[in-house]
């Protein structure tokens, strides 16, 4: 390692500490301002030219808004339509009728597991938020629950979505590792599903039951009202449960079709291009909103002007969330452009670990330092690709899974997902750390343990 590497690592550490200090100290700075200030500080500390700093800020914020912000906005619209149609309440009532209070986290884990198969973490959370809030509020209204019902219901969803996102193709992380290591999708997917089950159980229902009595987290009232307090539909106009569930799950179905098409169809085929377009998160969410408008509102004689007003109002509670996530994207881009990842790579080259552990460790360090799971996976897979091609005793699907698990560890202030959970649930920095950061760390560590167990049990052919 060089002195420059040490300087970059120290800059990354100080920047995160400074960010936390600005937000939680007496200054109480708004997270967006804190993220932008710290991002500029990273640029100057690493010797960037002023024009480069501005470019990286704009690129990072813009890329995140394009990939996540618009999808969140569409998700808020879909959630509002489902709430006003009474669909969310119907689904929440069905879960509460069929599951005891103790079984609710397990039921939510199962729902999130299904939703998370095709959906990215942030997209899946947007889709699940109305249901999380509806179930938690009904549980809260019973008056018997101690602590935060929203943590009790939400943590299992976070755990399941994270596990699927990092461990199971067709999510981009595992697919990237598979392509770089030149291994196959099938075994990696099978190992991923098997490893995800204990990971999301320990990080979800079990950890959520432990933490929820110790927390008092409650989302902002405006966001709760948007997703849970809808006017009751007029008699005869309430849609059937099946129609409502289809509207809620249509984006997930389109993404799942895309995933299946990528696995089964030849590259370059017309059908794959169509599936790829329809399964893109932005297009899938847009089609989900349009379907919900037609099936749940227009076909039942809903007022178009009232719908337009409701959709406009649905964006107000999430405007701050979107902008903070954009600030997180700027911070992530600045750390990445400063070559903090290169310093991490140089550090890991001095470590002597078994390949499966080393892949997890490199992906973890890159993801934590740069705020990008993708950077962690690409970096780790690229470094280990030569070894993967030369060692016939190395189980490549397990190496790909190990790298995906490592990228999940300790999702923190330079990750967009951290800010999405924090702001959606109305958490403090400490509360968000105790939830998404710890949950994803549990998932990542359990995933590595499962990889090592599989490697000890399954011979390489």
- pLDDT at residue 160, rounded to an integer: 97
- The burial class, CB within 10 Å (0-12 / 13-18 / 19+), for 237 is middle
The average pLDDT across 116-123 equals: 86
- pLDDT at residue 264, rounded to an integer: 86
Tell me if residue 452 falls in helix, strand or coil.
Answer: helix
- pLDDT at residue 228, rounded to an integer: 80
- pLDDT at residue 277, rounded to an integer: 95
- Sign of the alpha-carbon dihedral angle for 414, 375, 352, 202: positive
In terms of Cα–Cα distance, which of 57, 50, 11 is closest to 33? 57
Tell me if residue 394 falls in helix, strand or coil.
Answer: coil
Residue 243, pLDDT above cutoff 70: yes
Cα dist from 307 to 301, 410, 424, whole Å: 11, 40, 23
The average pLDDT across 218-229 equals: 86
Rounded distance, CA 82 to CA 292, Å? 8
Tell me if residue 37 falls in helix, strand or coil.
Answer: helix
- Tokens encoding 345: 């790579």
- pLDDT at residue 237, rounded to an integer: 60
Rounded distance, CA 414 to CA 403, Å? 20
- pLDDT at residue 167, rounded to an integer: 94
Question: Which residues have C-beta within 8 Å of that of residue 301, sequence separation ≥ 6?
Answer: 237
- pLDDT at residue 453, rounded to an integer: 97
- The burial class, CB within 10 Å (0-12 / 13-18 / 19+), for 333 is buried
- pLDDT at residue 11, rounded to an integer: 95
- pLDDT at residue 330, rounded to an integer: 93
> Which range is least confidently modeled, 54-58, 327-331, 457-461?
457-461
- pLDDT at residue 229, rounded to an integer: 58
For 53-64, what is each residue's pLDDT tens digit? 999 999 999 998
The average pLDDT across 26-30 equals: 90
Q: Quote the DSSP letter at residue 293.
A: I
- pLDDT at residue 219, rounded to an integer: 95
**Confidence class for position 30, pLDDT limits 50, 70, 90:** very high
Count of Cβ atoms closer than 10 Å to residue 345 Cβ: 18
Average predicted confidence (pLDDT) for the chain: 91
- The burial class, CB within 10 Å (0-12 / 13-18 / 19+), for 141 is exposed
Q: Quote the DSSP letter at residue 280.
A: S
The average pLDDT across 342-348 equals: 87
- Tokens encoding 75: 């998700």
- pLDDT at residue 199, rounded to an integer: 98
Residue 231, pLDDT above cutoff 60: no
- pLDDT at residue 234, rounded to an integer: 54
Contact criterion met (CB below 8 Å) for 117 and 256 = yes
- pLDDT at residue 282, rounded to an integer: 92
In terms of Cα–Cα distance, which of 290, 139, 115, 137 is closest to 200? 115
Residue 233, pLDDT above cutoff 80: no
Question: Which residues have C-beta within 8 Å of that of residue 290, sequence separation ≥ 6?
Answer: none
Residue 4, pLDDT above cutoff 70: yes
In terms of Cα–Cα distance, which of 145, 182, 137 is closest to 394? 182
Q: Return the half-sphere exposure (C-beta side, CA atoms, 13 A cut-off) of residue 455.
A: 20
- pLDDT at residue 236, rounded to an integer: 53
The average pLDDT across 387-408 equals: 92
- pLDDT at residue 220, rounded to an integer: 92
Residue 232, pLDDT above cutoff 60: no
Q: Which residue has the higher pLDDT, 206 or 117?
A: 206
């Amino acid at each position: 390692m060089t002195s420059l590497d040490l300087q970059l690592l120290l800059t990354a550490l100080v920047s995160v500490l400074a960010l936390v200090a600005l937000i939680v100290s007496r200054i109480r700075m708004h997270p967006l301002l804190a993220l932008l200030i710290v991002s500029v500080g990273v640029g100057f500390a690493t010797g960037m030219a002023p024009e480069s700093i501005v470019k990286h800020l704009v690129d990072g914020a813009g890329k995140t808004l394009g990939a996540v912000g618009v999808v969140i906005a569409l998700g808020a619209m879909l959630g509002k339509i489902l709430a006003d149609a009474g669909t969310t309440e119907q689904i929440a009532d069905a879960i509460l009728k069929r599951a005891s209070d103790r079984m609710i986290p397990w039921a939510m884990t199962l729902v999130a597991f299904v939703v998370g198969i095709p959906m990215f973490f942030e997209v899946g959370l947007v889709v699940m938020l109305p249901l999380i809030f509806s179930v938690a509020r009904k549980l809260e209204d019973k008056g018997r629950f101690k602590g935060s019902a929203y943590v009790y219901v939400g943590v299992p969803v976070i755990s399941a979505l994270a596990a699927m996102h990092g461990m199971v193709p067709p999510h981009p992380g595992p697919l990237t590792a598979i392509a770089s290591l030149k291994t196959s999708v099938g075994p990696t997917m099978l190992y991923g599903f098997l490893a995800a089950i204990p990971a999301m159980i320990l990080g979800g229902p079990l950890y959520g039951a432990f933490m929820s009595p110790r927390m008092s987290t409650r989302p902002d009232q405006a966001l709760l009202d948007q997703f849970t307090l809808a006017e009751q539909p007029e008699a005869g106009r309430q849609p059937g449960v099946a129609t409502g569930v289809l509207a809620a799950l249509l984006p997930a179905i389109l993404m799942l079709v895309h995933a299946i098409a990528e696995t089964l169809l030849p590259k370059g085929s017309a059908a794959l291009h169509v599936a790829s377009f329809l399964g893109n998160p932005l297009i899938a969410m847009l089609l989900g909103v349009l379907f919900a408008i037609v099936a749940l509102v227009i076909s039942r004689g809903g007022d178009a002007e009232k719908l337009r007003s409701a959709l406009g109002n649905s964006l107000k509670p999430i405007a701050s969330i979107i902008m903070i996530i954009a600030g997180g994207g700027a911070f992530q881009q600045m750390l990445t452009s400063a070559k903090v990842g290169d310093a991490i790579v140089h550090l890991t080259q001095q470590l002597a670990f078994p390949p499966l552990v080393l892949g997890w460790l490199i992906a973890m360090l890159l993801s934590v330092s740069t705020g990008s799971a993708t950077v962690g996976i690409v970096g780790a897979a690229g470094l280990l690709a030569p070894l993967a091609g030369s060692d016939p005793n190395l189980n490549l699907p397990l190496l790909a899974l190990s790298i995906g698990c490592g990228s999940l560890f300790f999702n923190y202030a330079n990750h967009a997902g951290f800010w999405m959970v924090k702001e959606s649930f109305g958490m403090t920095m400490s509360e968000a750390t105790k939830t998404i950061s710890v949950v994803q760390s549990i998932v990542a560590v359990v995933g590595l343990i499962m990889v090592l167990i599989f490697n000890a049990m399954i011979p390489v052919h």
